[in-house]
């Protein structure tokens, strides 16, 4: 199916919403995160879960039951998102696919006249991110990236304190993704199970034989479809680090690490350190998937330690899902604190739905350009890691100063018909 079959006559379509109108939402990708999307939208007064789409029919069956149990109505079901995008009753799509589908699913949705909520990381690679932004602008769509920290009250307050000089001049932010990840083992090639469209699942990625490890969730740990934990859990903290520091893109990146301890199918590192240099300040990011301690005030009762530390001339701040704490002076005396309220993704989705109705992208907390900028930091770190050396970047030209790094901005070969168009 060619994109023009669902683009003709639809790219400029825009429904005028009345005060009481709900936004008809379709969720694309009904895995663990996709089911969370369905659940959240069912609790949103502005949303109507009208359709579900997944390459695995077992997933849409489970998702459909969730919707029917909550509303008494069955949503429309699709296996191919191209068919879904032809549906003129759908106002917006919520994308919870694997990373390698984020850009193309978003771009096709924009071209089909749909607004988009897309999970993090915004994009699988840097080229795709630039095309996502270009599509949102060209087709005048509302595109929110699922970096829900930007809609969480205590994190918004913490960032405002940093802006107001609570730590004085900032010099470093450190993001922690200490999230325990057990070995994924080895899984053999096997026939594609019934009910799964493997060709669509791979989409823009190269064709591979089906294995269980390349499918549900563990696709994160293969370079063709995922970005490792720095681009999985880590992108949340990377975004908070960049947001809190008020920074754009760095001019230099270096990342080291490896896949330690385990011998299994995973390709991405389970231990990684990245430094992103801005000249007078820096972002440092660390991934640990193995047993570890916490750091500073970021502690937890379980095996995971995930959050951010901000450092300035007056002291430092610890920020995580529980709240924030400022420590001041040489004696690290306690300063202002904040405690987390209930709610996580819901406020971010509400912000998206309100912007869909108002048509004001400026109101979005995680607008696509912000999401892409944060994802670029992940990609720069991974490019350095894979090249095993420092890379230098020109944020104005949006290019590296090394040919080998520039060759990794996008895929060397795109698999038809799942080709990300060049729009910028």
pLDDT band for 1, please (50, 70, 90 cuts): very low
Q: What is the pTM of this model?
A: 0.96
- Which one-letter DSSP state was computed for residue 230? G
pLDDT over 70 (residue 268): yes
**Across residues 375-401, what is the average pLDDT?**
98
**Across residues 319-333, what is the average pLDDT?**
96
Half-sphere exposure of 354 (CA within 13 A, CB side): 10
pLDDT band for 344, please (50, 70, 90 cuts): confident
pLDDT band for 343, please (50, 70, 90 cuts): confident
What is the rounded end-to-end Cα distance, in angstroms, of the chain? 24
pLDDT band for 13, please (50, 70, 90 cuts): low
DSSP labels, 131-177: HHHHHHHHTT--EEE--GGGG-HHHHHHHHHHHTTTTSSEEEEEEEE
Q: How far apart are CA 98 and CA 186, in angstroms?
A: 20
pLDDT in the model for residue 356: 98
Residue with tokens 């109705």: 357
The correct CATH number of 150-343+376-406 out of 3.30.497.10, 3.30.360.10, 3.30.930.10, 3.40.50.2300 is 3.30.360.10
| pLDDT (tens digit per residue) in 51-94 | 999 999 999 999 999 999 999 999 999 999 999 999 999 999 99
Indicate the helix (H) or strand (E) that contains 38.
helix 32-42
Q: How far apart are CA 207 and CA 202, in angstroms?
A: 7
CATH architecture of 4-149+346-366: 3-Layer(aba) Sandwich (3.40)
Share of the chain above pLDDT 90, in %: 92
| pLDDT (tens digit per residue) in 110-153 | 999 999 999 999 999 999 999 999 999 999 999 999 999 999 99
Average pLDDT, the chain: 95
CB 24 within 8 A of CB 37: no
pLDDT in the model for residue 301: 67
Spell out the domain ranges in the chain. 4-149+346-366, 150-343+376-406
CB 235 within 8 A of CB 381: no
CB 189 within 8 A of CB 209: yes
| pLDDT (tens digit per residue) in 81-93 | 999 999 999 999 9
Ranking 7-11, 162-166, 322-326, 398-402 by mean pLDDT, the lowest is 7-11
| pLDDT (tens digit per residue) in 364-382 | 999 999 999 999 999 999 9
Residue 200, burial from CB neighbour count under 10 angstroms (0-12, 13-18, 19+): middle
pLDDT over 70 (residue 3): no
Q: What phi, psi does 59 have (nearest 5°)? A: -70, -45
| pLDDT (tens digit per residue) in 253-265 | 999 999 999 999 9
**Across residues 174-181, what is the average pLDDT?**
97
pLDDT over 70 (residue 10): no
Q: How far apart are CA 47 and CA 414, in angstroms?
A: 35
Whether 4-149+346-366 and 150-343+376-406 share one fold: the answer is no
Q: How far apart are CA 418 and CA 224, in angstroms?
A: 14
| pLDDT (tens digit per residue) in 406-418 | 999 999 999 999 9
CB 144 within 8 A of CB 38: no
């Amino acid at each position: 199916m060619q994109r023009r079959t669902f683009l003709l006559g639809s790219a400029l379509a825009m429904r005028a919403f009345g005060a009481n109108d709900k936004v008809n939402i379709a969720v694309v990708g009904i895995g663990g995160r996709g089911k969370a999307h369905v659940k959240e939208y069912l609790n949103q007064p502005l949303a109507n879960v009208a359709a579900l789409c997944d390459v695995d029919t077992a997933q849409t069956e489970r998702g459909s039951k969730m919707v029917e149990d909550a509303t008494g109505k069955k949503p429309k079901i699709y296996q191919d998102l191209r068919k879904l995008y032809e549906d003129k009753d759908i106002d917006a799509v919520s994308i919870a696919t694997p990373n390698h589908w984020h850009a193309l699913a978003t771009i096709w949705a924009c071209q089909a006249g749909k607004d988009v909520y897309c999970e993090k990381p915004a994009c699988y690679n840097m080229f795709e991110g630039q095309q996502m932004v270009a599509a949102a602008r060209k087709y005048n769509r509302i595109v929110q990236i699922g970096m829900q920290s930007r809609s969480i009250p205590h994190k918004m307050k913490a960032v405002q304190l940093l802006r107001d000089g609570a730590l004085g001049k900032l010099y470093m932010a450190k993001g922690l993704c200490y999230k325990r990840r057990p070995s994924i083992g080895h899984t053999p090639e096997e026939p594609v199970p019934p009910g799964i469209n493997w060709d669509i699942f791979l989409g823009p990625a190269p064709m591979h034989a089906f294995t269980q490890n390349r499918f549900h969730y563990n696709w994160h740990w293969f370079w063709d479809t995922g970005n490792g934990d720095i681009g999985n859990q880590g992108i949340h903290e990377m975004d908070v680090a960049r947001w809190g520091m008020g920074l754009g893109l760095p001019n230099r990146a270096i990342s080291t690490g490896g896949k330690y301890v385990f011998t299994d199918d995973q390709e991405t590192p389970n231990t990684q350190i990245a430094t992103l240099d801005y000249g007078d300040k820096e972002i440092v990011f660390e991934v640990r998937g193995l047993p570890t301690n916490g750091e500073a005030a970021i502690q937890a009762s379980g095996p995971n330690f995930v959050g951010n530390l901000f450092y300035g001339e007056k002291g430092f701040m610890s920020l995580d899902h529980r709240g924030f704490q400022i420590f001041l002076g040489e004696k690290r005396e306690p300063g202002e604190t904040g405690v987390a309220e209930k709610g996580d993704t819901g406020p971010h989705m509400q912000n998206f739905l309100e912007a869909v109705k108002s048509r004001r992208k400026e109101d979005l907390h995680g607008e696509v350009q912000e999401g892409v900028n944060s994802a670029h930091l992940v990609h720069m770190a991974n490019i350095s890691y894979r090249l095993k050396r420092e890379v230098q970047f020109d944020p104005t030209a949006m290019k590296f100063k090394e040919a080998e790094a520039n060759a990794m901005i996008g895929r060397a070969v795109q698999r038809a018909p799942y080709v990300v168009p060049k729009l910028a």
